[in-house]
Amino acid sequence: MNYRFWGGLAVLLASNFSLRAQSLAGVWQGVEDEFAAKGYCPSVLRVQQRGGESVFGVLYQQSGSQANVSVTFQMEGTPTPAGLTLEHVRKLTETGRSIFRYWCAGSIAFTYDASQEKLTGHATYAPLGECTTGEFTLYRVKLKSAATVPAGALSTLRVSGRDVRWYADAELTRPLATGNTYATRLRQTTTFYLRQGYFATAESPVVPITVRVSGPVPSQAAPTATPPDSLRPRARPQVPVPAVAPPALVATAPVVLPTVLFKKTTADLLPTARPALNRLAAELQSRPTLRLRIAGHTDRVGKSDKNQVLSEQRAAVVKAYLVQAGVAAERLSTIGYGDTQPLYPAPDARNRRVEVQEIP
């Protein structure tokens, strides 16, 4: 790969322009044909405005089975009412070339979903071997909560993207949290560095998100934010302290809570969930330095997009329960995996679960 050329082009694409109808400029990450029987290609698409009505960009694709096989295309196109259309112009770089491999090229019509910062693309390829059509699913990291928060107050920052990882530094050596939300108290303007784990490649971008603060820093910590009524139990859960401590629930590897299950197609906890969550709260209270990642899952019933949102809601409900039980919100991060990691053949209620994991 010509790294010098790629670096120069990346700087050009990062210039401060925006699409006229709706700003789709930026870096999108995802996959082509995630569930295709013939394979899949992790992809990174960089989009920018050229001037007037035209847009241009760079599409990087990597073989899902051979990371050393990749291609970079120059792309050009125009915005559409639904999103944008891009054409493959020419190859910029290619690795792992052989007479038995070829990359499909043609045009891609993308539809934009602003609520998820998602591009869904349908590719129509020029006839070449088995080239016919392809389906793209790409996401962009973007701040969705307020860009300015009160100094010293507990604030929940929210971003778009899939399998988001938060870091305190651009080198990604100081992890902070995972998931689409991060609860923290900021005393000064802070830049976070985010990266998506969704079909990550060596070209996956690091996205800086800057959150500013307003007002003076209070002398005492601000009170913990109260969850909305829809997430708040009727009464504060009573957390029993057993005479003999049971084995720890939480480990460094993900642990399934088998009784913490949900009603079908909802984020409503089943009654069987409360004893396990009470025990989990007690363990967190007895280990004040423990930080927890809560992962939500769904069964493979319904549309994947809705399942992704539902899994994130389920993780958020468990977090709200633990906060009401006295666990500090900043010790808990959430993430949703949708229907991508079932443990049992669908349909099975045990797939509608949460997993917990100790994090640094």
Residues 118 and 175 in one domain: no
The DSSP string of 123-181 is: EEEEEETTEEEEEEEEE---B-S-SEEETTSEEEEEB-SSSEEEESSTTS-SEEEESSE
> Average pLDDT, stretch 292-316?
87
* Mean pLDDT taken over the chain: 81
Domain termination residue (choose one: 100, 121, 139): 139
On whether residue 291 sits in a domain, the answer given is: yes
Residues 180 and 304 in one domain: no
Q: List own/partner pairs for 35-38 with CB under 8 A and 24 or more apart.
A: 36/135, 38/130
Q: How far apart are CA 226 and CA 12, in angstroms?
A: 44
Domain termination residue (choose one: 105, 139, 173): 139
Question: Which backbone phi and psi does 64 adopt, to 5 degrees?
Answer: -70, -20
On whether residue 113 sits in a domain, the answer given is: yes
> Does residue 60 or residue 128 have the better pLDDT?
60
Residues 177 and 295 in one domain: no
pLDDT digits (tens, 9 = 90+) for 5-46: 444 444 334 333 334 445 788 899 999 986 554 578 999 999
Residues 22 and 108 in one domain: yes
Residues 24 and 113 in one domain: yes
Lowest mean pLDDT among 40-49, 254-263, 269-278: 254-263
Give the strand pairing for 131-139 and 26-32.
Answer: antiparallel
pLDDT of 215 strictly over 80:
yes
| pLDDT computed for residue 192 by the predictor | 92
Residues 192 and 267 in one domain: no
CATH of the domain at 63: 2.40.128.120
| pLDDT computed for residue 1 by the predictor | 36
Total domains in the chain come to: 3
On whether residue 233 sits in a domain, the answer given is: no
On whether residue 167 sits in a domain, the answer given is: yes
Lowest mean pLDDT among 124-128, 213-217, 261-265, 333-337: 261-265
Residues 161 and 135 in one domain: no
CATH of the domain at 160: 2.60.40
What residue has token string 């988001």?
A: 164
Predicted structure pTM score: 0.57
Domain region containing 119: 3-139
On whether residue 351 sits in a domain, the answer given is: yes
Residues 299 and 205 in one domain: no
> Is the bond into 254 cis (omega within 30 degrees of 0)?
no
On whether residue 281 sits in a domain, the answer given is: yes
Q: How far apart are CA 322 and CA 42, in angstroms?
A: 36
Confidence band, pLDDT 50/70/90 cuts, at residue 288: confident
CB 311 within 8 A of CB 319: no
Domain termination residue (choose one: 121, 139, 157): 139
